[in-house]
Amino acid sequence: MIMNSSMTTSLVQAEAQTGSHQFQILGYSLIKGIGIGKCIYSDVFSISGYEWVIQFYPDGYDAENKDFISFFLRLKCNVSTDVDVKAKYVFTILQQNGVPSNISCTSLVRIFKSASGTCFESWGFTQFEKRSEFEASECLKDDAFTVRCTISVVTKLQTTTPCSVTVPPSNLNQHLVRLLESENGADVTFVVKGESFKAHRCVLAARSSVFRAELFGCMKEKWTDTITIHDIEAPIFKSMLCFIYSDSLPGFEGNSNNDDNDGASQELKLMAQHLLVAADRYDLDRLKLMCEDLLCKNLDVSTVASTLILAEERNCKQLKAACLRFMSSPEVFKAVAQTEGFDLLLKSSPSILKDI
């Protein structure tokens, strides 16, 4: 007897959206002692279309865990109730320079269910870290620390059959970067502090309304192949060109807190400040927001005053609000007041201090 056999395959692929929120706790010694089972809440933040809040229990979630600090994640009610949300989350204490420490806990995939018509179930870690060990760590400094919560929300399950075709992600930006690097077809040259950069008028005009006006409008730059830039440093202009062609900055976007070298971290923040100014000048909104985001996540006593001046000058409302929140603690404000940046802040924008 002849037997014919066949085999078919299928694939189920889960898709998720991931986002993070940083919760800064100032005045830890004043918060500690509020009582076992009592918590403080972060601001409500949105990830994957859902609103979340972090719960911090400085004296432990319950009597059995009174020697530990506890962190929980709660899903706030959405417009539609009775929604089950499947998500995975990670709580990580950050070092003072913003680098993740080894004080971290990762959950399994949890289902946040509607417990009633008004609230959702919480998930978290009752024994996140022993309180004595946490307080002895360098993560707690000047009576303050920061915890980062990263949430991955499962958005859908997609079944792929042998008949389907997997389409790779767009690589348009890679082709444009190669075009920039090869200089093929370049029709304009920028001279910046003695360095020359060749580019393509059409690409610049498509990305920036300012370049569009300069290169195709009635400005004098329209009639020349070489344009001299006086008020931007060459490395900053080069990074801006890279963003225009790739819509990203390698080692910059999404990696702002991964530098374990303090000098490199300071250099990155300085780069972000200069890039923000360049982005504002050339109407590159996404780049400007990227710089704001990096600066918000890397505020410290030595740079917050100068960052606040920049936020005020360039109308960066979110960055300004973050600086003011950072300085709202009396202890932090006292330390900031001793810096050179604070003296500049008093001279340039003294009225802004009323907002602190």
Reduce the DSSP state of residue 345 to 3 states and report it. Answer: helix
What does residue 353 show for φ and ψ, rounded to 5 degrees? -65, -20
Q: Are residues 319 and 345 in the same domain?
A: yes
Q: Are residues 145 and 241 in the same domain?
A: no
Torsion from C-alpha of 312, 313, 319, 322, nearest 10 degrees: -30
Q: Are residues 124 and 182 in the same domain?
A: no
Q: What is the pLDDT of residues 153-193, one digit of tens each?
A: 988 766 656 566 788 888 999 999 999 999 999 999 999 99
pLDDT at 48: 87
Q: Are residues 153 and 179 in the same domain?
A: no
Q: Are residues 225 and 333 in the same domain?
A: yes
Count H helices and E strands in the chain, helices first: 12, 13
pLDDT at 16: 85
pTM: 0.55
* CATH code where residue 109 lies: 2.60.210.10
Question: Which domain, by its residues, includes 288?
Answer: 172-355
d(CA 215, CA 100) in angstroms, rounded, equals 45
Q: Are residues 203 and 294 in the same domain?
A: yes
Are 50 and 85 contacting, i.e. CB atoms less than 8 angstroms apart?
A: yes
Q: Is residue 3 part of a domain?
A: no
The structural domain count of the chain equals 2
Q: Are residues 33 and 97 in the same domain?
A: yes
Q: Is residue 302 part of a domain?
A: yes
Domain ends where: 130, 158, 186?
158
Are 356 and 322 contacting, i.e. CB atoms less than 8 angstroms apart?
A: no
* CATH code where residue 348 lies: 3.30.710.10
Nearest Cα to 92, choosing from 136, 64, 128? 128
Q: Is residue 316 part of a domain?
A: yes
Q: Are residues 122 and 255 in the same domain?
A: no
Q: Is residue 80 part of a domain?
A: yes
Q: Are residues 181 and 234 in the same domain?
A: yes
Q: Is residue 256 part of a domain?
A: yes
Q: Is residue 52 part of a domain?
A: yes
Which residues does the chain have with pLDDT short of 70? Answer: 1-12, 77-83, 114-120, 157-164, 220-222, 251-264, 356
pLDDT at 6: 61
Domain ends where: 158, 184, 205?
158
Q: Are residues 80 and 190 in the same domain?
A: no
Q: Which two tokens stand for residue 247?
A: 């819509």
Q: Are residues 108 and 196 in the same domain?
A: no
Q: Are residues 209 and 129 in the same domain?
A: no
Q: Is residue 90 part of a domain?
A: yes
Distance set, CA 300 to CA 40, 142, 296, 308 (Å): 23, 12, 10, 12
d(CA 39, CA 65) in angstroms, rounded, equals 14
pLDDT at 253: 55
Q: Is residue 2 part of a domain?
A: no
Domain ends where: 100, 128, 158?
158
d(CA 73, CA 70) in angstroms, rounded, equals 10
